[in-house]
């Protein structure tokens, strides 16, 4: 299990802080890149620049951010190496570029995605994540148009679940048998594992109390039915197959709850609550048992924990049954499934008129209804169809005994799925449906978005040699992205010494932090603020909820004594549902006599607006120097390519002018359009744009 702590240390040393993410030389399995760096003193915003070359010539793109975090979703490609750097901007004055860092993108896996958009304006925004078992364990993410955004790299990972906070759960073929229930992040780091080879792969996730829940195999002996199509074959192997003798290995999946320390706190075993008189006698399960020499009795494949009622809904595929369980007592509240003669206790089950079979992916919606995929493996027998069909059912269960079909989507026979499958109700009211699509003999593994009016408005059909287990629409890749900034973090002089720190005074004796939720998910954050000298209240901590794209501000008064004028403060911020991404910030605080006495380091020059702008054919740059300095003036086109440079002109203090006559390095006239300029004096830089008209 891997857990990591991001620690950002901001002291009083002068110089650009660290570029923290991507880490230097990192190989990344996605192309939506999260860039992160230390907050810089005096910075009002930052410019980030990315290039394919170490010389940054040419520039791939330049963008800006008001926080020390930026997510690029438009420029990075697979199988490339990139270099990036950041510079702070204050009052349009450019600071120095940071020392550059580099990263590499890995190999793509799903470049031939076949996506069809029927009504673009109706499609739910976001990305589609999917994972499956064939032809190997693998998972991926595509955007609306089928562009591959993320894959599991070399992890051999099959996605099982993504929750409302962006946590990812599944299984991995690596380090077997320890990874049959793991939680990972986008970088495919294992955050938690059951470390148990008996864990079933069909469903594994966290429940509302943050414990983990999944299925584990349980074995016993049971009978072989005397009236099954496979009875004689079993008898040819020497079994009695009389329907009563316990002679054949049966197994089921019990539901298990683990805490963070891998201790089992709760479990529920079908052998203790179901009768073995209930089994599938109309599908293919006994054919599979004959081949495997063991009987997969219940084949549990999904559960949903309802914290409002404190109950669990469980899907038992081979029993064509959904069960509602009291979490506190373990009692069965109801079984919903097939009538007699398809199930021995059919008269005791509720809603037998629904006639679903071999279902997948049970869940409870915000409106209280149940949503699941009816695979319909024996739907031809139940309904008299020529070919079996799959459908999606939204069911209103009233008083735990009556069912009403609220919404139903029936797939054509070619999209019938014998196994796997998933459903997700989207924010826009549409439903994302995955089906193995192996009906009529032609595999069409399909993910589709369906409107309430039963129209398909988006679909993705995988390659013929690929199939998935589940699929989800998610708002973004970086589910825990957040940044933290502090006010009054400045470079200044105190007693003749140049320092970096957070400044305050008797009249301004508070500190203000901002937590910026830059993920696509609404998240809760815990923060804890403390210091070395007791300036902060003893219990300055809280948990706050921040919607996606929003900022929460922390304002704390400082109880400063008369002796100390400097202190070290520490702020810990941890996303509640992504504790592995906790960050620790440390700042030096300095007290000054009065805010007006804070002496900023003076600028080495003053640059006036270039004129005329737009221009034709000459533009003038006027500026003043406070001391003898080297002057560099460089022009770039809008793609970041250098057009003309006037380098290393050494000038005395005073007022000066430089002219550009719209010519490039070869002396040729440039084309009309927008040009960017970078004006550098000593260690300071300013930039802007000019327009050349013809």
Average pLDDT of adjacent 10-residue blocks, the chain of 694 residues? 39 59 97 97 93 95 94 97 95 87 97 93 98 91 97 96 97 84 96 92 96 97 97 98 98 97 97 98 97 98 97 98 98 98 97 98 97 98 96 97 97 96 98 95 93 98 92 97 94 79 79 95 95 81 95 87 76 96 91 55 71 89 83 83 82 85 90 86 80 85
Per-residue pLDDT, 389: 97
C-alpha 393/C-alpha 378 separation (Å) is 16
Per-residue pLDDT, 603: 60
Per-residue pLDDT, 687: 80
- Joined together, the tokens standing for residue 97 give 């570029």
Q: Which residues contact 481 (CB under 8 A, 6 or more apart)?
A: 34, 69, 71, 517, 518, 519
Per-residue pLDDT, 316: 98
Per-residue pLDDT, 597: 43
C-alpha 24/C-alpha 26 separation (Å) is 6
Write down the pTM of the prediction.
0.85
If phi over 0 gives left and psi between -120 and 50 gives alpha, with beta otherwise, what is residue 540? beta
Contact 527, 580 (CB under 8 A): no
Angle subtended at Cα 475 by Cα 576 and Cα 577, rounded to the nearest 5 degrees: 10
Contact 547, 553 (CB under 8 A): no
Per-residue pLDDT, 637: 83
For residue 428, the SS3 value is coil
Per-residue pLDDT, 594: 56
How far from 50 is each of 46, 87, 108, 657, CA to CA, in Å?
13, 12, 21, 32
Per-residue pLDDT, 615: 87
Alpha helices, DSSP H only, in 317-399?
379-383
How far from 565 is each of 487, 503, 504, 513, 534, CA to CA, in Å?
18, 10, 10, 20, 13
Contact 189, 176 (CB under 8 A): no
Per-residue pLDDT, 598: 45
How many residues comprise the chain? Answer: 694
How far from 569 is each of 5, 129, 452, CA to CA, in Å?
18, 41, 53
Residue 84 sits at φ, ψ, to 5 deg, of: -145, 155
C-alpha 145/C-alpha 111 separation (Å) is 12
C-alpha 151/C-alpha 153 separation (Å) is 6
Per-residue pLDDT, 561: 65
């Amino acid at each position: 299990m891997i857990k990591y702590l991001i620690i950002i240390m901001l002291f009083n040393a002068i110089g650009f802080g660290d570029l923290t993410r991507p880490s230097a030389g990192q190989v990344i399995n996605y192309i939506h890149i999260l860039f992160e760096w230390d907050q810089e003193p005096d910075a009002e915003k930052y410019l980030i620049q990315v290039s394919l070359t170490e010389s940054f010539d040419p520039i791939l793109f330049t963008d800006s951010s008001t926080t020390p975090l930026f997510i690029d979703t438009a420029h990075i490609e697979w199988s490339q190496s990139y270099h990036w750097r950041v510079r702070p901007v204050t009052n349009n004055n450019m600071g120095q570029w940071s020392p550059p860092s580099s990263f590499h993108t890995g190999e793509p896996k799903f470049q031939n995605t076949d996506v069809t958009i029927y009504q673009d304006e109706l499609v739910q925004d976001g990305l589609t994540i999917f994972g499956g078992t064939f032809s190997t364990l693998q998972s991926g993410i595509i955007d609306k148009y089928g562009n591959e955004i993320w894959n599991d790299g070399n992890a051999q990972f099959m996605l099982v679940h993504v929750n409302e906070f962006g946590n990812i759960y599944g299984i991995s073929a690596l380090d077997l048998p320890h990874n049959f229930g793991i939680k990972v992040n986008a970088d495919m780091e294992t955050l938690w594992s059951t470390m148990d080879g008996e864990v079933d792969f069909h469903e594994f996730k966290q429940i509302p109390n943050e414990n983990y829940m999944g299925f584990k195999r349980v074995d016993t002996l049971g009978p072989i039915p005397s009236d099954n199509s496979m009875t004689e074959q079993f008898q040819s192997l020497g079994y009695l197959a009389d329907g009563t003798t316990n002679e054949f290995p049966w197994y089921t999946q019990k539901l298990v709850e683990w805490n963070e320390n891998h201790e089992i706190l709760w479990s529920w075993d079908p052998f203790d609550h179901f009768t073995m008189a209930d089994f599938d006698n109309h599908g293919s399960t006994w054919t599979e048992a004959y081949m495997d020499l063991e009987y997969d009795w219940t084949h549990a494949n999904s559960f949903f924990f309802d914290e409002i009622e404190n109950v669990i809904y469980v899907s038992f595929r081979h029993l064509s049954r959904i069960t509602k369980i009291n979490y506190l007592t373990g009692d069965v509240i109801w079984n919903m499934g097939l009538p007699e003669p398809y199930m021995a206790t059919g008269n005791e089950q509720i809603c037998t008129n629904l006639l679903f079979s071999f279902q997948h992916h049970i869940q409870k919606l915000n409106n209280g209804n149940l949503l699941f995929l009816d695979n319909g493996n024996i739907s031809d027998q139940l309904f008299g169809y020529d070919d079996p069909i799959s459908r999606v059912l939204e069911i209103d269960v009233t008083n735990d005994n009556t069912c009403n079909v609220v919404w139903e989507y029936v797939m054509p026979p070619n999209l019938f799925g014998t196994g796997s499958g998933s459903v997700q109700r989207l924010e826009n009211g549409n439903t994302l449906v995955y089906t193995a699509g192996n009906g009529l003999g032609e595999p069409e593994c399909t993910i589709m978005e369906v409107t309430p009016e039963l129209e398909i408005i988006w679909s993705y059909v995988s390659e013929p040699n690929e199939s998935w287990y589940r699929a989800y629409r998610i708002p973004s890749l970086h589910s825990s992205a957040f940044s933290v900034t502090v006010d009054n973090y400045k470079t200044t002089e105190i007693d003749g010494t140049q320092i970096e720190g957070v400044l305050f005074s008797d009249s301004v004796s508070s500190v203000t932090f901002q937590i910026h939720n830059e993920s696509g998910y609404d998240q809760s954050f815990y923060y804890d603020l403390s210091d070395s000298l007791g300036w902060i209240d003893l219990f300055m901590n809280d948990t706050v909820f921040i919607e996606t794209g929003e900022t929460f501000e922390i304002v704390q008064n400082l109880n400063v004594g008369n002796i100390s004028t400097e202190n070290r403060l520490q702020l810990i911020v941890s996303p509640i549902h992504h504790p592995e991404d906790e960050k620790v910030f440390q700042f030096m605080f300095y007290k000054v006599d009065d805010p007006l006495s804070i002496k900023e380091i003076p600028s080495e020059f003053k640059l006036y607006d270039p004129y005329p702008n737009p221009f034709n054919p000459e533009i003038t740059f006027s500026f003043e120097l406070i001391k003898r300095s080297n002057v560099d003036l460089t022009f770039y086109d809008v793609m970041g390519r250098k057009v003309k440079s006037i380098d290393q002109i050494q000038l005395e203090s005073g007022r000066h002018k430089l002219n550009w006559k719209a010519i490039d390095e070869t002396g040729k006239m440039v084309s009309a359009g927008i040009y960017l300029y970078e004006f550098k004096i000593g260690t300071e830089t300013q930039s802007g744009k000019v327009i050349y008209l013809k």
